[in-house]
């Protein structure tokens, strides 16, 4: 029985901390400026794909880029 009580307390504490973090992030997002209309979806997706998957920014520095590529 004591194990269930301790587990319940830890679970409630964890959920409380998680809820607090979510509300904090929501409030931070509300502080940002209003969104703007997105144009050229294909071009934006292409750039995002090259940077995220192709790691183009890493290869600006040749030695670091090659070492990074070898790790992944």
Give which of 21, 25, 23 is closest to 13, Cα–Cα: 21
pLDDT mean values, one per 10 residues, the chain (72 residues): 94 98 93 75 84 76 79 76
* This prediction's pTM: 0.47
Question: What pLDDT was estimated at residue 17?
Answer: 98
pLDDT at 35: 67
H, E, C per residue of the chain: CHHHHHHHHHHHHHHHHHHHHHHHHHHHHHHCCCCCCCCCHHHHHHHHHHHHCCCCCHHHCHHHHHHHHHHC
């Amino acid at each position: 029985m004591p194990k269930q009580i301790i587990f319940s307390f830890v679970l409630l504490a964890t959920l409380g901390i998680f809820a607090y973090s979510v509300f904090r992030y929501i409030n931070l997002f509300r502080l940002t400026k209003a969104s703007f209309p997105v144009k050229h979806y294909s071009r934006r997706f292409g750039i995002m794909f090259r940077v995220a998957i192709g790691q183009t920014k890493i290869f600006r520095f040749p030695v670091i880029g090659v070492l990074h590529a070898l790790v992944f």
